[in-house]
């Protein structure tokens, strides 16, 4: 039997994730949305592209969660995206209600699923999903870090005119403007970024990375990024299904790592068939530790606002 991945929310990120994931040919895909016909239409269109791509998978769209039964991975993208002027935190209450419903509706059909959450505010929605589904923290992961790191890699590549393949960037912390790009661990072919780039240029890159989501929201004016987020989710789903033991930055539940406890937070994790196999801890500078604390306080504050049991 093929692996099965259900993507909840067939909007920009959900449909784009389905597109990237279909190209990997690692799983059958189910798209679910509340809007009548939306998931069905996009699923059928994507399915009809498969003969051209030479890919044999099933892609189904539905408004009914029964279609998700027996999923290996559930991806949650349902919720409102930002508009210009909005912060991710402005989405908190509306998206919490949606994510709660999605979590309840999916867990009953796929009690063993691993969850990958995308909906913002990301760290809080991932925490909420873990609580509502009752899954172990290892099986509930949020996507943010691959995207934030990829943005930083893009900007470094543009500045240095070096292949993106040579550039490794690591961004820790909450998925907000307080995220912490690590400039001495990030590197170009092994050479730390803070040795290769003058500090003013590096600062600009760090600042643009932090505000990378907002930059796209301001350009699009009617939603947020979807190509890079969709491929980021796809990388996580493939790492899980293919049991790759791949280390990527993602939002994981911290239980004392980095001196933080009881929150979801961006950290390097090792992903495999059981979900988060390991959380990797970097040695941080005092400045970075303090920046992480600020970022963590923001996430903890939002979790508290939801008044979860």
Shortest CB 16 distance to ligand TXD, Å: 8
User: How is residue 149 written in tokens?
Assistant: 């790191």
Tokens describing residue 198: 């003058």
CB of 302 to ligand TXD, least distance (A): 14
Q: Which is nearer to ligand TXD, 107 or 197 (CB)?
A: 107
Q: Which of residues 48-87 bind ligand TXD (CB under 6 A)?
A: 77-82
- Minimum Å gap between C-beta 108 and ligand TXD is 15
Rg (CA), the chain: 19
In this complex, which beta carbon is closest to ligand TXD, that of residue 98 or of residue 197? 98
Based on the shown chain and the rule CB under 6 A, indicate whether residue 95 belongs to the binding site for ligand TXD.
Answer: yes
Determine which one of 19, 175, 184, 245 is catalytic: 175
Q: Taking CB under 6 A as the rule, does residue 12 contact ligand TXD?
A: yes
Residues 170-209 that bind ligand TXD (CB under 6 A): 175
How many chain residues touch ligand TXD (CB under 6 A)?
Answer: 36
Residue nearest to ligand TXD (CB): 11
Smallest gap from residue 213 Cβ to ligand TXD (A): 7
Q: Which of these, 135, 145, 134, lies nearest to 114 by C-alpha position?
A: 135
CB of 175 to ligand TXD, least distance (A): 6
Residues 121-140 that bind ligand TXD (CB under 6 A): 122
Short-list 303, 206, 207, 289, CA closest to 251 = 303
Active site residue 19: no
Q: Which is nearer to ligand TXD, 55 or 220 (CB)?
A: 220
* Binding span for ligand TXD by CB under 6 A among 22-30, 96-104, 107-115, 262-270: 96-104
User: Which residues are designated catalytic?
Assistant: 175
Contact residues for ligand TXD, defined by CB under 6 A: 8-14, 32-35, 38, 77-82, 91, 95, 98, 101-102, 118-120, 122, 143-144, 147, 175, 223-226, 229
């Amino acid at each position: 039997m093929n692996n099965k991945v259900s993507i909840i929310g067939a909007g920009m990120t959900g449909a784009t994730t389905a597109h990237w994931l279909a190209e990997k040919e690692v799983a059958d895909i189910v798209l679910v949305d509340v809007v009548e016909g939306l998931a069905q239409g996009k699923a059928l269109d994507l399915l009809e592209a498969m003969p051209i791509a030479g890919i044999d998978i099933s892609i189904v769209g539905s408004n009914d969660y029964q279609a998700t039964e027996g999923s290996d991975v559930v991806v949650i993208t349902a919720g409102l995206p930002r508009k210009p002027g909005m912060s991710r935190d402005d989405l908190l209450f509306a998206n919490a209600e949606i994510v709660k419903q999605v979590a309840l509706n999916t867990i009953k059909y796929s009690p063993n699923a691993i969850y990958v959450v995308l909906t913002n505010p990301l760290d809080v929605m991932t925490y909420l999903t873990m609580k509502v589904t009752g899954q172990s923290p290892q099986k509930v992961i949020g996507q943010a870090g691959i995207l934030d790191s990829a943005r930083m890699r893009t900007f470094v590549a543009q500045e240095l005119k070096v292949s993106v393949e040579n550039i490794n960037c690591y961004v820790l912390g909450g998925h907000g403007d307080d995220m912490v790009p690590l400039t001495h661990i990030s590197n170009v072919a092994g050479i730390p970024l803070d040795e290769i780039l003058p500090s003013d240029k590096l600062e600009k890159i760090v600042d643009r990375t932090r505000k990378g989501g907002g930059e796209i929201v301001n350009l699009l004016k009617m939603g947020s990024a979807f190509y890079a987020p969709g491929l980021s989710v796809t990388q996580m789903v493939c790492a899980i299904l293919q049991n790759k033991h791949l280390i990527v930055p993602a939002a994981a539940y911290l239980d004392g790592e980095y001196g933080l406890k009881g929150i979801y937070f961006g950290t390097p994790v090792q992903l495999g068939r059981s979900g988060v196999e390991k959380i990797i801890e970097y040695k941080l500078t005092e400045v970075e530790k303090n920046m992480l604390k600020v970022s963590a306080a923001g996430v903890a504050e939002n979790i508290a606002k939801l008044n979860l049991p």
